[in-house]
C-alpha cells in the first residue's frame, strides 16, 4: 500500500486520509480477521506526520487459565515522515521516505505486531487454574486448599513440633 505524498509536501493539501485492509493471517496466525488500517497523513507547519490505528480481531489463549478467546487488538501509531535524516541517531523516531511514495502497508503490519500485549488474559481478574487439581477457578471452586493437609498428618506434625 503506497500513498503519494507530493501534494502534502507541496502544501496543495494539508490532510490526506486513508483506509485499507490487509490480510496477514499467513504470517501471524493469531489474527482472525483482515487487518483494518485507518488514519491520515498531514502537513503541520511543513512537518509531515503520519498517524494511524491498526486493528484486527485475534484468537488468543489466556496465559492464566488456557481458555481460548477472541478480542480486537487496536494499535495506534504516529511518526514524522522525512526525506532524509540529518542525524543518523534519530532513525527510530522518523520514517524516511526519499521519494513521494510512502509505503505504509508493511509499516502498518510491523507496527501492529510490535504493539501486541506480551500477556494475554481472558479477563483482568482471571483466577486461573488450581495448581493442584487443574480446575478452572473462573468456572468452579475446588477444595484443594482445605484437603491439602490431611487432619491426621496435621496432628502428627504438631506432635513432632513439640
User: Which positions touch Zn ion (CB under 5 A)?
Assistant: 62, 64-65, 122, 126, 130, 132-133, 135, 142, 144
Of 1 and 142, CB closest to Zn ion: 142
Give the SS3 label for residue 11: coil
In the complex, the smallest distance separating the C-beta of residue 133 from Zn ion, rounded to whole angstroms, is 3
In the complex, the smallest distance separating the C-beta of residue 59 from Zn ion, rounded to whole angstroms, is 14
Of 113 and 130, CB closest to Zn ion: 130
Q: Nearest 5°: CA angle at 19, between 112 and 50? A: 65
In the complex, the smallest distance separating the C-beta of residue 125 from Zn ion, rounded to whole angstroms, is 9
In the complex, the smallest distance separating the C-beta of residue 156 from Zn ion, rounded to whole angstroms, is 24
Look at the block and give the residue holding cell 483506509.
Answer: 19
Of 113 and 142, CB closest to Zn ion: 142
What are the CB-based long-range contacts (under 8 Å, 24+) for 126-129? 126/62, 126/64, 126/65, 127/64, 127/65, 128/64, 128/65, 129/64, 129/65, 129/66
Of 93 and 147, CB closest to Zn ion: 147
User: Distance (Å, rounded) from C-alpha 139 to C-alpha 36?
Assistant: 34
Amino acid at each position: 500500500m503506497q500513498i503519494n505524498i507530493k501534494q502534502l509536501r507541496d502544501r496543495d493539501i494539508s490532510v490526506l486520509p486513508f483506509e485499507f485492509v490487509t490480510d496477514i493471517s499467513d504470517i501471524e496466525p493469531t489474527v482472525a480477521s483482515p487487518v483494518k488500517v485507518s488514519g491520515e497523513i498531514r502537513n503541520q507547519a511543513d512537518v509531515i506526520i503520519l498517524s494511524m490505528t491498526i486493528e484486527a480481531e485475534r484468537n488468543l489463549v489466556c496465559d492464566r487459565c488456557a481458555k481460548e478467546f477472541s478480542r480486537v487488538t487496536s494499535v495506534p501509531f504516529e511518526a514524522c515522515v522525512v526525506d532524509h535524516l540529518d542525524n543518523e541517531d534519530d532513525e527510530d523516531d522518523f520514517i524516511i521516505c526519499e521519494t513521494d511514495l510512502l509505503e505504509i502497508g508493511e509499516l502498518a503490519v510491523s507496527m501492529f505486531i510490535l504493539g501486541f500485549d506480551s500477556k494475554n488474559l481472558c479477563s483482568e481478574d482471571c483466577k486461573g487454574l488450581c495448581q493442584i487439581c487443574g480446575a478452572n477457578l473462573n468456572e468452579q471452586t475446588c477444595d484443594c486448599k482445605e484437603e491439602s493437609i490431611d487432619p491426621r498428618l496435621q496432628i502428627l506434625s504438631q506432635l513432632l513440633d513439640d
